[in-house]
Structure 1
Amino acid sequence: MCDDLTADDNDRFLGTRAGVSRREFGALAGAAGLIAALPVPANAKPITGRDVTITTPDGVCDAYFAAPSRGKAPAVLVWPDIMGLRPAFRQMGDRLAQSGFAVLTVNQFYRSTKAPFLAPGESFDQPEVRARIAPWRAALSQDGTRRDARTFVDWLDRQPQVDTRRGIGTTGYCMGGPMTMLTATERPDRVRAGASFHGGGLATDRPDSPHLGVPAMKAGFLFAVAENDDQRNPAEKDKLRDAYAAAKLPAEIEVYAGTLHGWCPPDSRVYNAAQAEKAWGRLLALFDGGLRRG
């Protein structure tokens, strides 16, 4: 997650903080309307995408669902970064669906606003935008994320495109990183693989730190760490390694050289295409082993 809101705002969100400078915070906003074209997967499957709404205990969530047009596929739940559900994440969801997965990308801010919620030219380095986001962030909590995770997994299992004989995967970016861990902790019966990309607040000193839930998981994980995030908090990756080793669960934890926080989505101002492609390849390898064969 990002740290240009107040400390109190951050602490109310999942009980975590992960320092990001004002310049890097603005980079997360990207350039509105400018999205790098992602490569089409080899042997890409024809897909169908549609907007959906999902009733949760806390309201109605707007989301995007994409899946191969024929047959059944393992499901994946995607938690976006602070910029929320937007064209870049729809493109990423489509690409994952073309690789043979049924992908649900959610608007985790649904309690407060519909997505997309940034107008052209707006970015998180603008004080008025940060002020608008702050109460939405305050409405999020670990308990709410856990309720959402249960609901979204159940929704996926009801879709005819989903192969319920296979485990579910989950991915998260920035503030979505800890959400993947909470999902795996909350639904170990279904979640078999998870991935965090430049996630923050994954392993803290707080009693509700996401890494403390690792013993309850049954999922292997990928942690793709931004270099500048690691420079600020080098101990976090060691806490993660220790937690997964103690639980005897596989975890690939790597600091991606030359990357800045927010480097994976193709609309980020700090998008690093080469390293994002490397991380995407590792994600597909994780899902191939954990969902298709696992």
Structure 2
Amino acid sequence: MCDEAKLKVWARDAINRRQFGVLAGAAAVAACAPGESENEGALIEAPALDITERVVTFDTVDGTMDAFFVHPASGAHPGVIFWPDIASLREAKRNMARRLAGQGYSVLVLNPYYRDVAGEQFADFAAFIEADGFQKVSPWRDKLDADAIQRDAGAAVVWLDGQDAVDSERGIGTQGYCMGGPFTIWSSAAVPSRIKAAASFHGGGLVREEDDPKSPHNMLDEADATYLIAIARDDHEEAPDHKLLFAKAAGRAARPANVDVYEGDHGWTVPDSPAYAEAAAEQAYADLLKLYSENL
């Protein structure tokens, strides 16, 4: 899990802005030139579609949420609700959404902190660390319980279904990173009639108190989605029972779920994370595309 102790370790690793910039730039190149790799077994993507993007706002029960919306330039496509990690909206996340949109999805990257602040608060993870971001976002993050996220997910679905770029006859997907991982489970339980696929990447708190009805693993029977639960290897080492507990919960709820540990530490899928691991990130992305293509 992405906690304060882990962030302090990252800060001691002397990750500087230039290094982050190289990684974020690499993600943008990957989005523009899919499939160009000398690695055997590398992901081969379909040619990227032309895309268009804009900053949007929409009403929720709790206020006005701002978000980044990117989608193919023409046609209607499955919608995707994208929950970012603790550092929230920034270029690394926008690049990830652009890449997915180029594969035929209309992607809405939410600002989960909209109750307190609007727009980008940290340019990248280096800026998050330098600004003592964990302490800064803590009071904002404390408001993001299951009920709040479910209200937000409901509002996001309504907004997506009202867009010309979204095919409302097809299911909606949702994906989340770090703290956004459990948000995908709560989202799928909030709007089971629309959210048909959910992916958590190095998500923290998927299994909480075993008898907590709001623990994500206890809410699977309220959903109608297929799940990809991508666990970081260091998170698995800290809580080795969580993989099995989530898989058992999915079985009890009769929900299809691929629950697996990947060869990357917490944050490995995010290009501006100190833990970014390209090979493992590409595998996770390929698994995400498979999840969406089969269920949306």
**After TM superposition, is the score higher than 0.5?**
yes
What's the % identity of the aligned pairs? Answer: 41
CA distance in 1, matches of 2:125, 2:171: 40
Q: Which structure 1 residue ranges, 5 or more long, are not aligned?
A: 6-19
Q: CA deviation at 1:121?
A: 8.5
Q: Which structure 2 residue ranges, 5 or more long, are not aligned?
A: 35-44
- Decide whether aligned partners of structure 1 residues 88 and 120 sit closer, same or farther in structure 2, where only a CA change above 3 A counts: closer
Q: CA deviation at 1:130?
A: 2.9
CA distance in 2, matches of 1:287, 1:155: 20
Q: CA deviation at 1:170?
A: 0.2
Aligned to 1:105: 109
- Decide whether aligned partners of structure 1 residues 25 and 173 sit closer, same or farther in structure 2, where only a CA change above 3 A counts: farther
- Residue 218, structure 1, aligned to residue 224, structure 2: yes
- Residue 23, structure 1, aligned to residue 26, structure 2: no
Aligned to 2:236: 230
Give the 3-state SS of the residue equivalent to 1:169 in structure 2. strand
Q: Which of 277, 280, 293 matches 2:285?
A: 280
Aligned to 1:82: 86
- Residue 37, structure 1, aligned to residue 26, structure 2: yes
- Residues 30, 268 of structure 1: 8 Å contact kept: no
Q: CA deviation at 1:269?
A: 1.5
Give the CA RMSD over aligned residues: 2.1
- Residue 93, structure 1, aligned to residue 97, structure 2: yes
Q: CA deviation at 1:196?
A: 0.3
CA distance in 2, matches of 1:266, 1:209: 29
- Residues 36, 267 of structure 1: 8 Å contact kept: no
Q: CA deviation at 1:131?
A: 2.6
- Residue 184, structure 1, aligned to residue 173, structure 2: no
- Residue 4, structure 1, aligned to residue 10, structure 2: no
CA distance in 2, matches of 1:174, 1:26: 20
Aligned to 1:14: none
How big is each residue's C-alpha offset from its partner over 1:245-294, in whole Å with a ceiling of 9 and x where there is no partner?
1122211111112x111111111111100000000000000000000xxx
- Decide whether aligned partners of structure 1 residues 282 and 129 sit closer, same or farther in structure 2, where only a CA change above 3 A counts: closer
How big is each residue's C-alpha offset from its partner over 1:77-104, in whole Å with a ceiling of 9 and x where there is no partner?
0000001011011111111110000100
Q: Which has the higher contact order (CA 8 A, sep 6+)?
A: 1
- Relative to the length of structure 1, the TM-score reads 0.88
- Relative to the length of structure 2, the TM-score reads 0.87
1:164-175 equivalences under 5 Å are 164-175=168-179
- Residues 199, 228 of structure 2: 8 Å contact kept: yes
AA in 1 matched with 2:2: C
Aligned pair count reads 275
- Residues 182, 205 of structure 2: 8 Å contact kept: yes
Aligned to 2:148: 144
- Residues 81, 108 of structure 2: 8 Å contact kept: yes
AA in 2 matched with 1:136: W
